[in-house]
Amino acid sequence: MVLVNLILVFILGGVVAAVSERASPAMPRMVALSVIVLAFFYLVFHLSSLNGLNQLQASTPDDPSFWLIHFKMNWIPAFGINIELALDGLSLLMVLLTLVLGAIAVSASWTDIKDRHGFFEANLLWTLAGVLGVFMAMDLFLFFLFWEVMLIPMYFLIAIWGHENRGYAAMKFFIFTQASGLLMLVATIALVAVYKDSAGHYSFSYFDLLNTPMTPHTAMWLMLGFFVAFVVKLPGFPFHTWLPDAHTQAPTAGSVILAGILLKTGAYGLIRFAVPLFPDAAIEFSNVALILGVAGIIYGAVLAFGQTDFKRLVAYSSVSHMGFILLGVYAWNTLALQGAVMQMVAHGFSTAALFMVAGSLQERLHTREMPKMGGLWQSMPRMGAIAMFFVLASLGLPGLGNFVAEFLVLLGLFQVNPWLTVLASMGLITGAIYSLMLMQRSFQGEPNPKFATREMADFGFRELLTMSIMVVALVALGIYPQPVLDIAQTTIAGTLAFTLSGAMP
């Protein structure tokens, strides 16, 4: 029941946060932060009582020993639908990332949100509940349910507390993600129908559907349904167009959750569902996916280079960085998959931090336009130093987690296609250019006279503490990534073995 309790804590916590505003406008923030911290220690305590990660064993996903925790309860037995949740190395990393970045998102909203604090924190907690369900659901109907649950509160976060063009951005986000989710639902129902033809009964269980016999033509079409749904959320080229608007218009906490957590649900879906459920179709489609990944890296980097809006530049950089995850998944070897998982974790911290910097600048300067900034390091040296660190992390400075992630992806991709590896490396060069350009335009150069005479508030204790958590995380991932690689390795090795990775290009 620990996994069910984890989700229920966030759902009930959202209700408490919503009504707690009656006591004090600050109370919802305290409730939200307390819920996340409670959930984090509850999960860690339960893992320690199970002898922790020693329970993880190298096997295949259809073997019970593959899973650290597994819970199953009947729900709609007539259609083979169950409440089935499980945790392995990959989902454990994603759950921990969700909890840490959830607390950071609460910190980001501390002074950013001016009204309806209770409803804001409630939507934030409900979004996290949906994300946790996505990372733990092993019944495909339940997975789809959580997939939709996380979209609705995120829509409200953007539409109510976003910036000047929030209505358009929220609707675009909802239409793209809702349409892709419905495509995944159609593919899921079709997969279950194919399973019933061979097994004689309905089942939405991941463990049953893993071995569903089907024709290559059917497998390809069903795989494409899952692929498009997950790549829209990743987002990958050419399904990325909702992301820059959503990030630019979202409140700072919304951008943190979007960049740090929601995008990772798409990457998780590719690794967990799109390839293992349809291994032969994935083999056949892998070259197309790799080309899309390289196109996304270069396209996102070029568009980031042309932005003047701080948040929009960081948003397009996310499109570029997510291309590395697509490459890592469809190169489908140990090095590339380790790099993809590491990128999911490292990008979550680095980009979330940059969006917090962008939000802090907008709160102080009332603008996101870099040409209107300049020389801000003189008046806000602590913010400038923090921004420089995360800019260097984003461009892949050796010794930080992003470098380890992208280096592993490129090593794995080189074994598959050296020429695509060369093209993907171009994204690293362009990334260095736009990252340093962001720093030069906003914190270096001549100060804007409009702000030079104004006393600027630098990062305070709360903001420095929040940023310090992400700084330590990225340094740890860069200097000693082995714990993360070890946790992910059981999932990667088992999934590779199950899908006959030797046949993968």
CB 493 within 8 A of CB 59: no
Residue 56, in any domain of the structure: yes
Is 142 in the same domain as 8?
yes
The answer on 23 and 168 residing in a single domain is yes
Nearest to 423 by CA among 324, 313, 308: 324
The verdict on 255 and 361 lying in the same domain is: no
Residue 229 lies in a domain: no
Residue type, 321: H
Burial profile 375-395: b = 16 or more Cβ within 10 angstroms, e = fewer = bbbebbeebbebbbbbbbbbb
- Residue (of 488, 496, 241, 504) closest to 343 by Cα position: 488
Three-state SS at 212: coil
Point out the domain boundary residue: 261, 294, 320: 261
Split into its structural domains, the chain has a count of 2
Backbone angles phi, psi at 85, to 5 degrees: -125, 145
| Position 224 in a domain | no
Query: Would residue 350 count as lying in a domain?
Result: yes
Distance CA 141, CA 144 (A): 5
Residue-number span of the structural domain to which 76 is assigned:
1-182+245-261
DSSP states of 35-98:
HHHHHHHHHHHHHHHTTGGGG--S--TTSGGG-SEEEEEEEEGGGTEEEEEEE-HHHHHHHHHH
- Can you give the pLDDT of all 505 residues of the chain as single tens digits? 889 999 999 999 999 999 988 888 889 999 999 999 999 999 988 888 765 455 555 566 766 567 888 888 999 888 889 999 999 889 999 999 999 999 999 988 888 888 888 899 999 999 999 999 999 999 999 999 999 989 999 999 999 998 888 889 999 998 988 888 899 999 999 999 999 988 888 889 998 898 888 899 999 999 999 999 999 988 888 888 888 888 888 898 888 998 889 989 999 999 999 999 999 898 899 999 999 999 999 999 889 888 888 889 999 998 999 999 999 999 988 899 999 999 999 999 999 999 999 888 888 888 888 888 878 888 888 988 999 999 999 888 899 999 999 999 999 999 999 999 999 988 888 888 888 888 888 888 777 777 655 667 788 888 899 999 999 999 999 999 999 998 888 888 888 887 764 333 3
Spatial neighbors of 248 by CB under 8 A, at least 6 apart, are: 163, 165, 169, 309, 311, 312, 315, 368
290 shares its domain with 423: yes
Q: What confidence score (pLDDT) does residue 295 get?
A: 93
447 and 504 co-located in one domain? yes
Residues 106 and 121 sit within 8 Å (Cβ to Cβ): yes
**Confidence (pTM):** 0.92
380 within some domain: yes
Asked if residues 94 and 121 have their Cβ atoms less than 8 Å apart, the reply is: no
Same domain (yes/no): 38, 134: yes
Q: Are residues 368 and 254 in the same domain?
A: no
Tell which residue, 297, 361, 344, 359, has the closest CA to residue 473.
344
Domain assignment present for residue 137? The answer is yes
For residues 383 and 456, the answer to whether their CB atoms sit within 8 Å is no
Residue 277 placed within a domain:
no
Does 257 lie in the same domain as 322? no
| Cβ–Cβ under 8 Å, residues 324 and 406 | yes
Residue 308 belongs to some domain of the structure: yes
Alpha helices in 332-368 (DSSP H): 334-365
Q: At 13, which amino acid appears?
A: G
Instruction: Choose the final residue of a domain: 226, 261, 296.
Output: 261
> What torsion do the CA atoms of 317, 259, 295, 313 make, to the nearest 10 degrees?
-20
Non-local (6+) Cβ contacts of 135 within 8 A are: 91, 94, 95, 98, 265, 268
Q: Do 252 and 340 lie in a common domain?
A: no
256/318 same-domain check = no
Q: What are phi and psi of 86, to 5 degrees?
A: -150, 160
The answer to whether residues 254 and 385 belong to one domain is: no
**CA dist., res. 248 & res. 391, Å (int):** 18
421 and 481 assigned to the same domain: yes
